[in-house]
């Protein structure tokens, strides 16, 4: 299993690449790209909230809580006064850190369903709907942020699986297959959790905003032409030198 340093490094690199590619496609502003980068990094470390190491879990909870609160301020800065933002920020941090995160820590086990494909999709869908219906972001950007979060979540799971393969000794560790999975049926409670997750996933997909514009943009020839045009300097002059 990969450690926290590995996961946050990979999440940072993948989120930066995604942001840069989307900027090159001319479908994001720099401010939107920064928000996407932040949520991508959070997505890349979120699976370890079920860590059985209390110190690591507490550190991760603090990082995620502060990051989400900061991103929330970043998105809503133009809507509230300074004092209002401070009060809302403190309230948001307390709810996320000592409410939501504590509940997850209580009900989850390490390498349980938190480390699974359906949970990645479920959280991505929940984020998409939250950003659209509560933060009033447009349908396309809400879907984009949700997808990037889920992709980085999945990259975390794949990284854990890769670290379960011992190339030097040519053997597969017992942890292989416990991260990038579709279900967990070891016990009755596992079966119930799996069923509940898929039920929530289905409901969230049903209530999610329309993804028509999202697919239209990424299936558009013009979008990819724009990326191709920005891959290299058009005038063969590098770095304006």
User: Per-residue pLDDT tens for 68-81?
Assistant: 777 777 777 677 78
The most confident of 50-64, 168-182, 212-226, by mean pLDDT = 212-226
Question: In this predicted structure, what is the pLDDT of residue 169?
Answer: 55
Across the chain, what does the average pLDDT equal?
83
Kindly state the percentage of the chain with pLDDT values over 90: 35
Copy the structure tokens of residue 121: 């999709």
Contacts (Cβ under 8 Å, ≥6 apart) of 51: 57, 60, 110
Beta-bridge partners for 172 = 165
Nearest to 131 by CA among 18, 208, 29: 208
Question: In this predicted structure, what is the pLDDT of residue 40?
Answer: 94
Copy the structure tokens of residue 42: 């959070």
Is residue 138 scored above 60 in pLDDT?
Answer: yes
Banded pLDDT at 60 (limits 50, 70, 90)? confident
* CB atoms inside a 10 Å sphere around CB 194: 20
User: For 40-69, what is the mean pLDDT?
Assistant: 76
User: For 167-183, what is the mean pLDDT?
Assistant: 66
Banded pLDDT at 44 (limits 50, 70, 90)? very high
151-154's contacts with Cβ under 8 Å and 24+ in sequence apart are 151/14, 151/18, 151/40, 151/43, 152/11, 152/14, 152/15, 152/40, 152/41, 152/43, 152/44, 153/43, 153/44, 153/46, 153/47, 153/119, 153/120, 153/123, 153/124, 154/117, 154/120, 154/180
Helices (H) and strands (E) in the chain, counts: 10, 2
Q: Is the pTM of this model over 0.95?
A: no
Rounded to whole angstroms, the Cα distance separating 83 from 211 reads 36
Nearest to 218 by CA among 76, 33, 28: 28
User: For 191-210, what is the mean pLDDT?
Assistant: 94
């Amino acid at each position: 299993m990969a450690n926290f340093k590995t996961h946050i490094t990979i999440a940072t690199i993948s989120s930066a690449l995604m942001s840069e590619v989307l900027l090159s496609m001319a479908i994001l502003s720099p401010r939107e790209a920064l928000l996407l980068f932040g949520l991508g990094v959070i997505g890349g470390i979120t699976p370890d909230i079920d860590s059985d190491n209390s110190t690591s879990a507490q550190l991760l909870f603090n990082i995620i809580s502060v990051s989400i609160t900061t991103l929330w301020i970043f998105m809503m800065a133009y809507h509230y006064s300074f004092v209002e933002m401070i009060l809302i920020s403190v309230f948001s941090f307390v709810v996320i850190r000592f409410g939501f995160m504590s509940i997850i820590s209580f009900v989850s086990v390490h390498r349980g369903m938190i480390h699974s494909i359906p949970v990645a999709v479920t959280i991505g869908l929940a984020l998409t709907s939250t950003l659209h219906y509560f933060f009033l972001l447009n349908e396309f950007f809400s879907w984009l942020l949700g997808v990037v979060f889920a992709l980085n979540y999945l990259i975390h799971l794949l990284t854990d699986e890769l670290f379960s393969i011992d190339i030097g000794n040519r053997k597969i560790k017992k942890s292989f297959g416990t991260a990038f999975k579709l279900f967990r049926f070891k016990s009755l409670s596992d079966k119930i959790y799996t069923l509940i997750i898929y039920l929530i996933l289905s409901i969230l997909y049903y209530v999610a905003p329309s993804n028509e514009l999202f697919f239209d943009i990424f299936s558009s020839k013009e979008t990819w032409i724009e990326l191709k045009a920005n891959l290299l300097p058009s005038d063969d002059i590098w770095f304006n030198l």
